[in-house]
Structure 1
Amino acid sequence: MVPGLSSLFSRELGFRRDLHRADVVGMGCNAGLNGMSPLVQWARNHPGRSALLVCCEVNSAIYLVDETARTGIVNSLFGDGAAAAVITGHRGDGTVLAGPRVVDFESFCIPEQWAAMRFDWEAGPGKWSFFLDRDIPYVIGFNIREPVETLLKRNGLDLSSVAHWVLHTGGGVVIDSVKLSLGLDEHDVRHTRSVLRDYGNISSGSFLVSLQRLLAEGRTSAGDLGVMVTMGPGAQIETALLEFG
């Protein structure tokens, strides 16, 4: 889209004219955490000011109607959705902010898998169709520990320190693969499963909906640590460390 959604939001919602805009496109299911990272840095550099992260996905635009397994998988897995989060930098005056604190980020790229999740042009229907390599869930599972452990080690932590997990709803096999690799139980992925069941894979916004469900439970305690994980085209894995207040 040109202009991007941020420009349309500004027009429709009457944002300030000194608005900073950054539209993150082409990163698929990774885009939420990819967009959150620079927003968190901006908020840290501008105490007391607010940033808005909006993840908007219209995945039904890529649906095709044919008899291929590829189409069946894509049409049954992906759904439409939007999610948003407000990020505020601490003013340093003792004010307690609502919501968890974003502590740190870690990324991990698997460039040899660049074609595992991609768009292909279909001349017949005149549309782009999405391709998912059947082995990509296992590739993600095999590689997921490295960025997670790097993130935790840098902050003096290990896997046992994490009380809450917020995973991208990549699909049932992806969830199982990540769960096995990280040694998680079904309780750890309950919100990831429920979002997938209720809405499908809504791409970049999936992890925010899972986080919303975790917060709505009211079972997080002050000082609890959480890890958010997304994965998407590139192939790329994104992680973030949270501290709950």
Structure 2
Amino acid sequence: MAAPAIAHVNRIGTALPPHDVHDAFVDFVGTMIKERRDQLIFRRLVGRSAIDHRWSFFTPVKDPDGFTADAEGFYRPGSFPGTAKRMARFEATAPDLAVQAIAGLGLTAAELHGITHLVVTSCTGMVAPGLDQILVQRLGLHPGVERTHVGFMGCYAAVNSLRLAHHFVRSDPAARVLVVNIELCTLHFQETGELESLLAMLLFGDGCSAALVSADPHGLALVDFRATTVADSADAITWRIGDQGYDMHLSGQVPPLLQRALAGPAGADLLRGHSPDDYGVWAVHGGGRAILDAVESGLGLGQGALNWSRDVLRECGNMSSATVMFVLQRIMAGIGTAVPRGTPGFAVAFGPGLAAESFRFTAVG
């Protein structure tokens, strides 16, 4: 029996909305914190966040009455929008950002028509007919393309979408899989003065990635996938649909929970019994500076191992499922220079559970 085909991430395209809202959000949130002590803590942690930019479709402005989060008043204090209005904005803006990311792949019309599978991932918006169906029409994909939607899994959903593509190619070497991760996190800011919630919202921005996965032997060869769940951590990250959008809880205990788990049997299992030194390049989801610090410490990584991830966090913030794809794009761009061909790599992302989803890859070039 012939060995299964090896799936490769051949190309990655990315896209960001037009407006940098990080500084504006910091100013806006500052007006929501009433306690002086909490204001000081918030400002101190902003300075330690290692985030300089986050992107959104909302245009930040100041008005004579004080700061309004956006030009249209979507987040005007005292009248934050309900879930229906937020989903209407997702439907209006997500397709264009997805098309922009897909355009970054540089596929011809014939190549687009040859796509056999479409995987669309998002945990920040829903619409029916789905974004997958919208993209089939917008891109001129074959109407019989096999469509899969991965929804509401959180930041590690990109790994699950690549796992699907991996299986599709292994089962059919002729498969050409288009994987799209689209997250509009800024649609879900909550009106609250609760410090932990505001610190969680401080991390998130919008972004979209697109990837072509096939058996063509160039790019990143996908080796295998593995997941693990940290014991007694189900409440550390929660993500629920409420009347005022999607309400995330991100506990301050997530970094120490991850650090301890990765330093123990869970980390050894994810690494498949290998030493961290056996992997020459790392693509870690930049959920926040403290998350990256926890991974670095827990796995005992050398200084600079997570620079790819730290750069994406600094320039884009946490874009939920799209984030690790931005990291992989930068690694791919470095193959042959910063990343020697044949370098073994390790990718991992974290999310509700508290779970870690990982895969190994080889930089083929």
TM-score (norm 1): 0.88
1:233 pairs with one of 352, 355, 358? 352
1:183 pairs with one of 297, 300, 316? 300
Describe the superposition over 1:29-72 as per-residue Cα deviations: whole angstroms up to 9, x where unpaired. 01000111121011111113210111100101111233221332
Mapped contact 2:230–2:266 kept (Cα < 8 A): no
1:144 aligned residue: 262
Give the stretch that moved more between structures: 182-191 or 28-37: 182-191
Map residues 17-36 of structure 1 onto 2, 5 A cutoff.
Answer: 17-36=143-162
Mapped contact 2:183–2:207 kept (Cα < 8 A): yes
CA distance in 2, matches of 1:104, 1:152: 11
CA distance in 2, matches of 1:121, 1:179: 32
Does 2:222 align with 1:102?
yes
Describe the superposition over 1:51-100 as per-residue Cα deviations: whole angstroms up to 9, x where unpaired. 0111100101111233221332123100100111111025xxxxxx2201
Give the stretch that moved more between structures: 145-154 or 187-196: 145-154
- Unaligned 5+ segments in structure 1 are 91-96
1:119 aligned residue: 239
Q: Secondary structure at the match of 1:21?
A: strand
Describe the superposition over 1:124-167 as per-residue Cα deviations: whole angstroms up to 9, x where unpaired. xx34321111101111222235455335437xx43221100110
Give the stretch that moved more between structures: 104-113 or 78-87: 104-113
Displacement of 1:122 in angstroms is 6.0
Give the aligned residue type for 1:181: G
Does 2:294 align with 1:174?
no
- Unaligned 5+ segments in structure 2 are 1-125
Number of residue pairs the alignment of both structures matches: 235
Mapped contact 1:27–1:232 kept (Cα < 8 A): yes
2:272 pairs with one of 126, 132, 153? 153
CA distance in 2, matches of 1:228, 1:239: 5
Mapped contact 1:149–1:159 kept (Cα < 8 A): no
Give the aligned residue type for 2:169: A
2:203 pairs with one of 77, 87, 90? 77
Residues 1:42 and 1:213: Cα distance change in structure 2 (over 3 Å): same
Larger Rg: 2
Give the stretch that moved more between structures: 136-145 or 223-232: 136-145
Does 2:130 align with 1:4?
yes
Mapped contact 1:27–1:234 kept (Cα < 8 A): no
Q: Secondary structure at the match of 1:144?
A: helix
Q: Calculate percent identity across the aligned residue pairs.
A: 26
TM-score (norm 2): 0.61
Does 2:193 align with 1:67?
yes
1:57 aligned residue: 183
Q: Secondary structure at the match of 1:227?
A: strand
1:43 pairs with one of 169, 190, 193? 169
Q: What CA RMSD, in Å, does the superposition of the two structures yield over aligned residues? A: 1.9
Q: Secondary structure at the match of 1:112?
A: coil
Mapped contact 1:48–1:88 kept (Cα < 8 A): yes
Mapped contact 2:258–2:298 kept (Cα < 8 A): no
Q: Secondary structure at the match of 1:187?
A: coil
CA distance in 2, matches of 1:80, 1:102: 26
Residues 1:4 and 1:115: Cα distance change in structure 2 (over 3 Å): farther
